[in-house]
Amino acid sequence: MISPKLCIRCKGKLLCGLQRCPILEKHAFFKKADSPIKGTSFTGNSPPSVFVSWKNYPSISIAPLSPPIVEDTSLFDAPEKWFGLSQERIIEMRQQLIRPNKRVQAGEARNPSYSLIEMQELAMSLDSVLISVDLRRRLFPRLSFDEGVAPMGPSGLLKEFSLQENPKIPPKIDYLVSDTNAKAQTALMELYNSGIAVSSLHKLLSAGTLGVKKNRKLVPTRWSITAVDSNISKELIEEKIMGFQQLAEFQLFHSNYLDNNFWVLLLPSSWAFEQLECWLPGGSWAVNASSATIIQDHEFYAGRKSYASNVEGAYYAARLAVAEHLVERKRQAACIIFREIGSNYVLPLGVWQIRENVRNALQQKPLSFSSLSLTLAFLSKKLKVPIKKYEKESKLIDYFRNQKTIKNWF
């Protein structure tokens, strides 16, 4: 829940035009926020990056993102490379990205204008691209934070936009964007299997470059991130993981980054997945809380029938990381993720950090246990919230404690 200490008009995002927020103002990176350009035009290297808004869908806005600097900026929008960077460094990069918005209809992706085609080509590149932007008026310096997407810098209204060099588009991307008969899911999986980063797939789907021509649409960035994470992990689970041999033991993995403490538990079983998420008192969503609150979403072997509305996009980001790990090992397992968010995670930075935190955890050497009870006993010494609170909320712990197997009959 958003703390009432944050600005009640914009909940800390400063979209209301106020210059100070009681939670944000104490941070040096916020105090340095200023308009990165003088005037209404600039030239710079886009990472590359394109942002599509979600408000008032299908009447939305699309924006090419770029800092007003001419150098390699690829790190500015490459979350796969951010793990280990400080919160301040990430925000410092992102607040330099200017967002010049152009109002469009989502369906324009089927018959794009020349300007939209150039933005789509920008989204197709894997290297930074030099662009030129003219705004309708001067920027107002502001920062925006969201639990789903990376922090956003100052925005304005786009007057003119043009590419100043030809984007370097990989042949595989060019081929599948040109194939107007290939379904979006087919294209996503071919690109993913060819080694294209998930963050690049988010941009391609968002810019409306994939799918059957008559069905192509611009997809809001926050929706495209979840759609890619969800659809790729679902196919990996159904087409590969469910056919693998089950894990032989309980394995526990750990990662702690940006005061997000992850314990990833793999259980010797058929596929199932649960994410337990706990905001500790003092964090950005629990500033005034006197005790921790745990939320969860889960699925059993049959999968989910509805959106994970409690954990939301973080659920699918974590599920993708787990699915990738199991595919690499050619093993099937159930998974329970315990996530504790501490008070130093002041501002939400996007679901990328969940995906990368879980990926990092699963790259570490696991602790092995012979039973669920022993695993939970160990976890009880590591988690800040009593394990009984997690057990009360968890559907999978209850299931694995009480399920009957063939061994119960002998």
CATH of the domain at 141: 2.40.50
Q: Say how far apart CA 286 and CA 243 lie, in whole Å.
A: 41
pTM over 0.75: yes
Predicted pLDDT at 253 = 98
Q: Is residue 371 domain-resident?
A: yes
Q: Is the pLDDT of residue 42 over 50?
A: yes
**Across residues 197-211, what is the average pLDDT?**
98
Q: Is the pLDDT of residue 203 over 60?
A: yes
Q: Is residue 365 domain-resident?
A: yes
Q: Is residue 269 domain-resident?
A: yes
Number of domains into which the chain is organized = 3
Pair (258, 396) in one structural domain = yes
Q: At what angle do helices 184-193 and 198-206 cross, to 10 degrees?
A: 150
How sure is the predictor about 377, in pLDDT bands with cuts at 50, 70 and 90? very high
**Across residues 64-89, what is the average pLDDT?**
96
* Extended strands (E) in 290-361: 293-299, 331-332, 334-341
How sure is the predictor about 36, in pLDDT bands with cuts at 50, 70 and 90? confident
Of the residues 192, 210, 239, the one at which a domain ends: 239
Pair (79, 188) in one structural domain = no
Return mean pLDDT, the chain.
89
Of the residues 190, 216, 239, the one at which a domain ends: 239
Q: Is the pLDDT of residue 372 over 70?
A: yes
With DSSP H G I counted as helix, E B as strand and the rest as coil, what are the percentages for the chain, rounded to 5?
Answer: 35, 20, 45
Spatial contact of 191 and 179, defined as CB atoms under 8 Å apart: no
Pair (137, 260) in one structural domain = no
Phi-psi region of 14 (alpha: psi -120 to 50; beta: other; left: phi over 0): left
Query: What residues make up the domain containing 387?
Result: 242-409
Predicted pLDDT at 347 = 82
Spatial contact of 335 and 311, defined as CB atoms under 8 Å apart: no
Q: How do residues 235-261 score in pLDDT, each as one tens digit?
A: 999 999 999 999 999 999 999 999 999
At residue 75, the 3 state secondary structure works out as helix
How sure is the predictor about 290, in pLDDT bands with cuts at 50, 70 and 90? low
Pair (230, 253) in one structural domain = no
Pair (126, 158) in one structural domain = yes
Pair (184, 99) in one structural domain = no
Q: Is the pLDDT of residue 93 over 60?
A: yes
Predicted pLDDT at 159 = 96
Q: Is residue 17 domain-resident?
A: no
Q: What is the DSSP letter of 6?
A: S
Find the helix or strand (DSSP H, E) in which 174 lies.
helix 171-178
Please tell me the least confidently modeled range out of 61-75, 83-97, 363-377, 395-409: 395-409
Q: Is the dihedral of CA 337, 342, 344, 345 positive or negative?
A: positive
Of the residues 139, 163, 187, the one at which a domain ends: 163
**Across residues 165-187, what is the average pLDDT?**
97
Pair (196, 335) in one structural domain = no
Pair (49, 187) in one structural domain = no
Q: Is the pLDDT of residue 23 over 80?
A: no
At residue 369, the 3 state secondary structure works out as strand
Please tell me the least confidently modeled range out of 18-32, 175-189, 226-240, 372-386: 18-32
Q: Is the dihedral of CA 364, 367, 372, 373 positive or negative?
A: negative
CA-angle at 54, arms to 48 and 60, nearest 5°: 85
Q: How do residues 115-137 score in pLDDT, each as one tens digit?
A: 999 999 999 999 999 999 999 98
Pair (235, 246) in one structural domain = no
At residue 131, the 3 state secondary structure works out as strand
DSSP for 234-259, written as a single string: HHHHHHTGGGSEEPSSEEEEEEEETT
Fill in the amino acid letter for 361.
Answer: A
